[in-house]
Amino acid sequence: MGDLEAWGEAGKRYEIHEETLSCFTKLDELGTKPFQDGSLTPEEVRAQILRVSEVIGGLPDFEGSERQFLVPSQSGNEEGVPVSVYKPKDLSSVPAIWIYFHGGGLVICSRNTHSTMLKILARRARCIVVNVDYRLAPEHKAPAAFDDCRDVSRWVLRNKVLLGGHADSSVGVGGDSCGGHLAASITHDVTDLTFQILVYPLTDLTLSSKSAKEFEDTPGFNNARMKWYMGHFLANEGQKTDPVVSPYHRPSFTGLPPALCIMAQLDPLRDDGLAYSKKLKDAGVPTDVLVVKGAPHMFYQMPAHFQQLNKEAYKKTVDFIQQFQQE
């Protein structure tokens, strides 16, 4: 997968960054297997992506504290929702608290696969980050993950000081891929949130955008893989246009918190993110948009490898968060 030929027409149309090509070479060297054909179980895919995150994601240089909490559920999750809270040693006087929902199609990934990226951003932004382990499918179909993330968001808003913040701390949500999907949905229901950061979010489950067709068969994340995820997390086909699960179809975007939307140019979800951003802007929501050229889906959560491609994306993230805290 680490060559231009594997990208077909997209490889001729776009300038694919060297970090993108070399990432897929590394994935080949690690022996990662495609799974959208059903050859791997969700448990096997979870083990594979954890190994990838450890090798390609890297380990952070983090000075600060990490605390674990079990958030009580109001939505039928008897075990509660596990979260990790990262508080850097060098913290703003009134830090923002950023609740992050990891990607992975609501089927794979965890707090552990995204911890490196979040500790880096917590340190650079001098903010507190809450890393959420919501329930995964197919064990728990939608809207279980949405319910967990909504419960965590409300719990954080009530417990800012407990988490190391300030009573006046701003609270925002964010996520990548289906984590961005979760964050976008939560902002419609939890009205006290101050900001949102959506990284290549899945906002329209119909997969009808131009980029979904353009990158239908490209390496890594593509339509077949997205359909594999949806086959596991959807309870029924009607959820593809259900506003609770597919936030692009929400009837109103008025009054939502300011947004930063970051998209990868070489991503089937690119145009979904752009269309959702337009809805935010049309509703008067302050919205900043960045499309990272030459980048694939997944670049954001792999900081050790995508060092060049993440420069602008991480700077945008840090600058955006710092608007909502007092230094």
* Coil vs helix vs strand at 151: helix
Burial profile 306-320: b = 16 or more Cβ within 10 angstroms, e = fewer: beebbeebbebbbeb
Is pLDDT of 246 > 60? Answer: yes
The string of pLDDT tens digits covering residues 42-69 is: 999 999 999 998 888 777 778 999 999 9
pLDDT of residue 8: 86
- Which comes out higher in pLDDT, residue 2 or 49? 49
pLDDT of residue 2: 54
* Cis ω for the linkage preceding 138 (within 30 of 0): yes
pLDDT of residue 224: 87
Mean pLDDT of the chain: 94
Q: How far is the CA of 206 from the CAs of 114, 211, 222, 247, 302, in angstroms?
A: 27, 12, 14, 12, 27
pLDDT of residue 265: 97
Highest mean pLDDT among 71-80, 154-163, 212-221: 154-163
- Which comes out higher in pLDDT, residue 317 or 11? 317
The string of pLDDT tens digits covering residues 265-309 is: 999 999 999 999 999 999 999 999 999 999 999 999 999 999 999
Question: In the beta sheet, which residues pair with residue 174?
Answer: 100, 197
- Alpha-carbon gap, residue 5 to 24, rounded angstroms: 12
The string of pLDDT tens digits covering residues 184-193 is: 999 999 999 9
